Amino acid sequence: MAGIGAANITISVFVPPPVILDLNNLNATIGLNITLNCTASGFGLTYEWDLIPCGPGCMTSGFDTPILSVGPIVFGSAGEHVCNVTDFIGQKVSKIITITPLGPTLLSSNVSNCAATPILVINGTNEFLECSFQNRPDAPYNLTVDWFISGQRFGTPRANNASTFVTTTPEDESRIVTTTISFNPL
Protein backbone atom coordinates (compact mmCIF):
# COMPACT_ATOMS: atom_id res chain seq x y z
CA MET A 1 0.00 0.00 0.00
CA ALA A 2 1.31 3.36 -1.02
CA GLY A 3 1.14 6.29 1.29
CA ILE A 4 0.86 9.98 0.81
CA GLY A 5 3.26 12.29 2.56
CA ALA A 6 4.15 15.95 2.68
CA ALA A 7 7.50 17.59 3.16
CA ASN A 8 8.84 21.13 3.04
CA ILE A 9 11.54 21.66 0.49
CA THR A 10 13.71 24.78 0.31
CA ILE A 11 15.09 25.68 -3.07
CA SER A 12 17.85 28.27 -3.20
CA VAL A 13 18.43 30.07 -6.45
CA PHE A 14 21.69 31.93 -6.88
CA VAL A 15 21.38 35.06 -8.99
CA PRO A 16 24.78 36.49 -9.87
CA PRO A 17 25.09 40.24 -9.41
CA PRO A 18 25.14 42.42 -12.51
CA VAL A 19 28.50 43.00 -14.13
CA ILE A 20 29.41 46.31 -15.77
CA LEU A 21 31.26 45.69 -19.00
CA ASP A 22 33.86 47.91 -20.61
CA LEU A 23 33.44 51.34 -19.01
CA ASN A 24 36.78 53.12 -19.34
CA ASN A 25 38.16 56.54 -18.52
CA LEU A 26 37.82 59.03 -21.34
CA ASN A 27 39.87 61.90 -22.77
CA ALA A 28 37.41 64.32 -24.39
CA THR A 29 38.13 67.29 -26.64
CA ILE A 30 36.80 70.61 -25.38
CA GLY A 31 33.72 71.69 -27.33
CA LEU A 32 32.59 68.19 -28.35
CA ASN A 33 29.57 66.27 -27.07
CA ILE A 34 30.31 62.79 -25.74
CA THR A 35 28.37 59.75 -24.58
CA LEU A 36 29.29 57.44 -21.74
CA ASN A 37 27.96 53.93 -22.36
CA CYS A 38 27.49 51.79 -19.26
CA THR A 39 26.78 48.33 -20.67
CA ALA A 40 26.06 45.63 -18.10
CA SER A 41 25.06 41.97 -18.00
CA GLY A 42 22.39 40.63 -15.68
CA PHE A 43 18.61 40.32 -15.35
CA GLY A 44 16.02 43.09 -14.97
CA LEU A 45 18.63 45.83 -14.90
CA THR A 46 18.01 49.47 -14.09
CA TYR A 47 20.59 52.22 -14.56
CA GLU A 48 21.26 55.40 -12.66
CA TRP A 49 24.12 57.87 -13.08
CA ASP A 50 25.16 60.02 -10.13
CA LEU A 51 24.38 63.67 -10.84
CA ILE A 52 27.67 65.50 -11.30
CA PRO A 53 27.81 69.06 -12.72
CA CYS A 54 29.81 69.15 -15.97
CA GLY A 55 30.73 72.85 -16.00
CA PRO A 56 29.27 76.12 -17.28
CA GLY A 57 27.37 75.69 -20.55
CA CYS A 58 27.66 71.90 -20.39
CA MET A 59 24.48 69.78 -20.22
CA THR A 60 24.04 66.20 -19.03
CA SER A 61 21.12 63.90 -19.89
CA GLY A 62 20.19 60.22 -19.64
CA PHE A 63 20.55 59.76 -15.87
CA ASP A 64 18.30 56.67 -15.85
CA THR A 65 19.60 55.00 -19.02
CA PRO A 66 22.77 53.07 -19.89
CA ILE A 67 23.94 56.02 -22.02
CA LEU A 68 24.81 59.36 -20.43
CA SER A 69 25.19 62.32 -22.81
CA VAL A 70 27.59 65.08 -21.74
CA GLY A 71 28.50 68.23 -23.62
CA PRO A 72 29.75 70.35 -24.93
CA ILE A 73 32.85 69.46 -22.93
CA VAL A 74 34.48 72.35 -21.04
CA PHE A 75 37.42 72.37 -18.63
CA GLY A 76 34.83 72.15 -15.82
CA SER A 77 33.69 68.77 -17.20
CA ALA A 78 36.70 67.09 -15.62
CA GLY A 79 35.89 64.56 -12.95
CA GLU A 80 34.34 61.26 -12.06
CA HIS A 81 30.96 60.05 -13.27
CA VAL A 82 29.45 57.02 -11.53
CA CYS A 83 27.23 54.45 -13.25
CA ASN A 84 25.04 52.43 -10.85
CA VAL A 85 23.39 49.23 -12.09
CA THR A 86 20.75 47.39 -10.04
CA ASP A 87 19.18 44.04 -10.92
CA PHE A 88 15.62 42.80 -10.28
CA ILE A 89 16.41 41.60 -6.74
CA GLY A 90 18.18 44.80 -5.71
CA GLN A 91 21.82 43.80 -6.13
CA LYS A 92 23.74 46.96 -7.03
CA VAL A 93 27.14 47.50 -8.60
CA SER A 94 28.82 50.79 -9.47
CA LYS A 95 31.68 51.84 -11.68
CA ILE A 96 33.48 55.17 -11.98
CA ILE A 97 34.54 56.73 -15.27
CA THR A 98 36.83 59.76 -15.26
CA ILE A 99 36.55 62.42 -17.96
CA THR A 100 39.68 64.42 -18.79
CA PRO A 101 39.03 67.47 -21.02
CA LEU A 102 41.69 68.08 -23.67
CA GLY A 103 42.38 71.56 -24.96
CA PRO A 104 45.05 73.02 -27.20
CA THR A 105 48.70 72.09 -26.78
CA LEU A 106 51.15 74.83 -25.86
CA LEU A 107 54.09 74.68 -28.26
CA SER A 108 56.25 77.54 -27.02
CA SER A 109 55.97 80.80 -25.20
CA ASN A 110 57.96 83.42 -23.38
CA VAL A 111 54.82 84.18 -21.40
CA SER A 112 54.30 81.30 -18.99
CA ASN A 113 51.28 79.34 -20.21
CA CYS A 114 50.54 82.39 -22.38
CA ALA A 115 48.40 83.83 -19.60
CA ALA A 116 49.28 83.36 -15.98
CA THR A 117 52.77 84.76 -15.49
CA PRO A 118 53.30 88.30 -16.80
CA ILE A 119 56.39 89.83 -18.42
CA LEU A 120 57.72 93.05 -16.92
CA VAL A 121 58.28 95.74 -19.58
CA ILE A 122 61.58 97.64 -19.50
CA ASN A 123 61.54 101.15 -21.00
CA GLY A 124 62.79 101.45 -24.56
CA THR A 125 63.32 97.75 -25.26
CA ASN A 126 61.97 95.73 -28.12
CA GLU A 127 60.06 92.78 -26.76
CA PHE A 128 59.28 89.74 -28.87
CA LEU A 129 56.21 88.14 -27.35
CA GLU A 130 55.33 84.62 -28.37
CA CYS A 131 52.35 82.46 -27.55
CA SER A 132 52.27 79.47 -29.88
CA PHE A 133 49.58 76.80 -29.68
CA GLN A 134 48.69 73.76 -31.72
CA ASN A 135 44.98 73.13 -31.87
CA ARG A 136 43.64 69.58 -31.64
CA PRO A 137 42.65 68.25 -35.10
CA ASP A 138 39.17 67.28 -33.87
CA ALA A 139 38.57 70.54 -32.01
CA PRO A 140 35.26 72.26 -32.84
CA TYR A 141 36.74 75.67 -32.09
CA ASN A 142 39.44 78.10 -33.18
CA LEU A 143 41.79 79.77 -30.76
CA THR A 144 42.41 83.49 -30.56
CA VAL A 145 45.19 85.10 -28.54
CA ASP A 146 44.82 88.70 -27.30
CA TRP A 147 47.73 90.69 -25.86
CA PHE A 148 47.41 93.13 -22.97
CA ILE A 149 49.74 95.66 -21.31
CA SER A 150 48.52 96.47 -17.80
CA GLY A 151 45.02 95.36 -18.70
CA GLN A 152 44.81 97.35 -21.97
CA ARG A 153 44.52 95.33 -25.18
CA PHE A 154 47.08 96.17 -27.86
CA GLY A 155 47.40 94.88 -31.39
CA THR A 156 44.78 92.69 -32.99
CA PRO A 157 43.62 89.26 -31.83
CA ARG A 158 45.63 86.53 -33.52
CA ALA A 159 44.27 83.14 -34.48
CA ASN A 160 45.93 79.94 -33.25
CA ASN A 161 49.56 81.09 -33.00
CA ALA A 162 50.38 84.58 -31.83
CA SER A 163 53.66 86.42 -31.99
CA THR A 164 54.20 90.14 -31.87
CA PHE A 165 56.94 92.72 -31.42
CA VAL A 166 56.38 95.49 -28.92
CA THR A 167 58.49 98.64 -28.72
CA THR A 168 57.97 100.06 -25.29
CA THR A 169 57.83 103.72 -24.37
CA PRO A 170 58.61 105.56 -21.12
CA GLU A 171 54.99 105.21 -19.98
CA ASP A 172 55.24 101.42 -20.41
CA GLU A 173 57.96 101.22 -17.75
CA SER A 174 57.10 98.52 -15.18
CA ARG A 175 53.83 97.64 -16.88
CA ILE A 176 52.75 94.04 -17.16
CA VAL A 177 52.24 92.10 -20.41
CA THR A 178 49.76 89.23 -20.37
CA THR A 179 47.68 87.26 -22.85
CA THR A 180 44.22 85.77 -22.97
CA ILE A 181 43.34 82.63 -24.92
CA SER A 182 39.77 82.51 -26.29
CA PHE A 183 37.95 79.43 -27.57
CA ASN A 184 35.73 80.31 -30.52
CA PRO A 185 33.20 77.66 -31.68
CA LEU A 186 33.25 76.85 -35.38
Residue 163 lies in a domain: yes
Q: Looking at residue 23, which CATH number applies to its domain? A: 2.60.40.10
Q: Write out the DSSP string of 89-128.
A: T--EEEEEEEEEEE-PEEEEESSGGGTTS-EE--TT-EEE
Same domain, 34 and 85: yes
Confirm whether 146 is domain-assigned: yes
**Using the 8-state DSSP alphabet, how is residue 179 labeled?**
E
Global pTM?
0.59
73-123 confidence digits (pLDDT tens): 887 888 889 999 999 999 999 999 999 988 765 554 444 445 444 556 565
Which domain covers residue 143, as residue numbers? 105-185
Is position 23 within any domain? Answer: yes
Same domain, 83 and 152: no
Digit-coded pLDDT (tens) for 25-76: 998 888 888 999 998 999 899 999 997 777 777 888 889 999 999 988 887 8
